Structure 1
């Protein structure tokens, strides 16, 4: 017969020397490395258990000792050696009590007259393994309990059977300001927003096998004082006393959200400020060329027309300065500025310029708003590049409409087209000059989309006739309507 070579330390508490000898013989038969300690009464047993530095693997306990027996004996031995499995040795007349002893914490009971080598060995092995499992479970439950109650984050345990909270930790009580009794009687629909709470309660009632913390979502909760909390909820499924439960943890991200919102606001304000600065920058070439044309007319002696031109230019520049102080201006102000701009620009080209503005009937241009000078760069581009080499009457049309909350502004010209204009620029000595107005406006569009939620979009379409000859350019600017000058 193969012997078990693992070391065992066994305490036998037995006052009958015959029974003790029989048990030691059985142990020696199957265990090669067994150390036996013997006690014949409770007093000696207590002393051994209190002074022993080498824990016992198992205790074999006779129920009838000279100085103590029965339930009291089991209770006191169990208290002295709670982490060590206890196997009760009993006679036929103690069967009922031996069965009851299982509820007192013993691992097994053996009837002395029926004990044999195999039965004793199996009982000891099972008792040791069973005790390990119990201790491991207890340690696990203690770790969970410590994590739960000592956690700095609010936590709940929700029972799917009773559909109620069965535990809540001190962090939740402190954070939310409710008593433990109040929190256990509430639902997340009462702690937070009703719709959000209903969604969360639905998640808690799902039967999931995931044992990891799973992100459920971001929710708004309210303290007893009505102060709002922004929280992120995580939960995982656990089993407590054979009942499916959910462990819920709430992370307070209120301060984090406030910091993010503050940074986002600063970013939006910075983008808004940059956009306002850019809107005040008319193309320097336009200003330079306009002033040069005034000088040309003055030198020709056309003083009256020159003075009128300077007055119009001064008025237009005043509009630029006034409009640049606001993030948005009414379409009425924007169109008034464009008319002044085009009137002055007409004097810079040789061809006649037919300019029209069409506004849809449902568009209230005094109560609809637009970033200042958003359209001007596209009008300027059409005049400078589209019409510069045209040898025919020039036409420029601005069409403004509103459809389902979306404002659409179309700037269409019948110029030479972008391809011809680009080729012409490359052939000139000053081809390194860039359209500053267009560059400024492209940057403004990016900034507008950063600090507003209007989704500004620009589409440029090259127009051709049936023979694929260029017939001009159409620019379509669209964004969600703005009905307040502050956006």
Structure 2
């Protein structure tokens, strides 16, 4: 049988030399080269873990040590183990205590009399994998929490069934004026002005009936002080504590909305200016040009100087007319882009 070639670093806390040899033999059957450190009592184990700060993949713990035993030993070991999985190896079958040990935080409880090499090996593998899973889960939660709490934008998580807030970041507390405790007593519907609530309800229907994982909504929220703000909301499904939830990021776009409105007003004014230039300003100029042409046609002869002045006036009028046309055209085509 091929042995496991991975490097296992194990702390065996056992004061009985015979039991220690038995554990070493069992480990040797499935692991090629286990690194075993032995502590014969709690004091020595504490020195290894706390003073020397050695780390291990698993701790194998005998419940009856010369200086400590039973539940007291379990509690003390959990305090100094630095979350290293602890597997109890005991010669006593005590079902209530085994259950109690698991509840306290012990990873596994094995009875020496019925222990086998395979059972010990599988327990070690299972608890190493379990610790890795828990570590990864904690890191994942920390990354989520960092992203959530450090976001400069308001964020919250709500239950998709009850619509109650499950978590709210500090930015949302600062933006909306509600305390965290107040938020957790509210539902997301309470952020919407009554006359705008239908927008949220329609959005929620779309979210529930859609396969899209990412949704956006533009609407209005009401702050605790009654102020209405324009918001752009983005949401995504999330499982939080086994609850179907939505994580939401809300962006206050009130200033952007005002900016867009100002641009729209400016565009309207430019359109108005273009119309004034093309209809009102050009009207007297057109009449002036017509009169100049009539004068030119009705008077059969001009002196050379008079003809020169008349032609210069007409040329200037035509040039001014071309300039007005060009300004009007450019003003009518102006489009100010906004982000």
Normalising TM by the smaller chain, what interval? 0.7 to 0.9
Indicate the SS of the match to 2:282: coil
Return the alpha-carbon distance in structure 1 between the equivalents of residues 163 and 73 of structure 2.
Answer: 43
Q: Which has the larger radius of gyration?
A: 1
Aligned partner (choices 195, 200, 223) of residue 197 of structure 1 = 200
Give 1:75 shift.
2.7
Residue 447 of structure 1 is matched in structure 2 by 332
User: Structure 1 163/261 Cα, relative in aligned 2: closer, same or farther at 3 Å?
Assistant: closer
1:76 counterpart = 2:79: no
Q: Could you report, residue by residue, the CA deviation over 1:273-319 in whole angstroms, capped at 9, with x for unpaired residues?
A: 2332233124967643432214544669xxxxxxxxxxxxxxxxxxx
1:100-143 per-residue CA deviation (whole Å, 9 max, x = no partner) reads 22222222211111112111111111110111001111111122
Number of the residue aligned with 2:292 = 291
Deviations 1:249-279 (A, max 9, x none): 1112222222333334334333432332233
Structure 2 length normalisation: TM-score? 0.81
Q: What is the CA–CA distance in structure 2 between the aligned matches of 1:127 and 1:263, rounded to whole Å?
A: 64
CA shift for structure 1 position 167: 1.6
1:239–1:209 CA distance, 2 compared to 1 (3 A): farther
Residue equivalent to 1:129: 129
Q: Note the 1:236-251 alignment, pairs <5 A.
A: 236-251=236-251
Instruction: Check the 8 A contact 2:267/2:334 in 1, yes or no.
Output: no
- Secondary structure of the residue aligned to 1:225 is coil
**Equivalents in 2 of 1:235, 1:189: separation in Å?**
15
**Does the residue aligned with 1:239 lie in a helix, a strand or coil?**
strand
SS in 1 for 2:216: strand
Deviation string, structure 1 residues 156-179 (Cα, Å, up to 9, x no partner):
211235442122222111101122
Question: Helix, strand or coil: the match of 2:5?
Answer: strand
1:209/1:237 contact within 8 Å kept: no
| Residue pair 1:187, 1:197 contacting (<8 A) in 2 also | no
Task: Report the secondary structure of 2:34's partner residue.
Answer: strand
Deviations along 1:224-263, one digit per CA (max 9) or x if unpaired, are 1222221111111121222211111111222222233333
Aligned to 1:171: 171
| Partner Cα distance (1:207, 1:14) in 2 | 59
Rounded Cα–Cα distance in structure 2 between residues aligned with 1:209 and 1:76:
50
1:391-420: CA deviations, max 9, x gaps?
Answer: xxxxxxxxxxxxxxxxxxxxxxxxxxxxxx
- 1:185-222 superposed Cα distances (whole Å, 9 cap, x missing partner): 33333212222232344456568683xxx232111111
Unaligned 5+ runs, structure 1: 301-432, 452-487
Decide whether the 8 Å contact of 2:164 with 2:188 is kept in 1: no
Is contact 2:28-2:34 (8 Å) kept? yes
What secondary structure does 1:281 align onto?
A: helix
| 1:404-443 correspondence to structure 2 within 5 Å | 440=325
Partner of 1:226: 226
Equivalences for residues 255-274 of structure 1 within 5 A: 255-274=255-274
Out of 129-138 and 236-245, give the one that drifted further: 236-245
Partner SS, residue 50 of structure 1: helix
Indicate the structure with greater strand content: 1
Alignment check: 8 A CA contact 1:39 1:45 kept:
yes
Task: Give the conservation status (yes or no) of the 8 Å contact 1:160–1:204.
Answer: no
What residue is the counterpart of 1:88 in the other structure? 88
Maintained 8 Å contact 1:217/1:232: yes
Structure 1 contact 275–448 (Cα < 8 Å) conserved = no
Q: 1:38 to 1:159 in 2, by over 3 A?
A: same
1:201 to 1:69, Cα distance in 2 relative to 1, 3 A: farther
| Residue 72 (structure 1) shift | 3.0
Aligned residues: 314
CA distance in 1, matches of 2:269, 2:15: 90
Q: CA deviation at 1:448?
A: 8.4
Matching residue of 2:59: 59
User: What's the Cα RMSD here?
Assistant: 3.1
Cα distance per residue 1:414-444 (max 9 Å; x no partner): xxxxxxxxxxxxxxxxxxx9xx79x949965
Contact 2:11 2:59 in 1 (8 A): yes
- Alignment check: 8 A CA contact 2:58 2:128 kept: yes
Which runs of 5 or more structure 2 residues have no equivalent in the other structure? Answer: 302-317
**Paired position in structure 1 for 2:310:** none
8 Å CA contact 2:220–2:228 kept in 1: the answer is yes
Asked if structure 2 preserves the Cα contact closer than 8 Å seen for 1:83 and 1:135, the reply is: no
Higher relative contact order (CA 8 A, sep 6+): 2
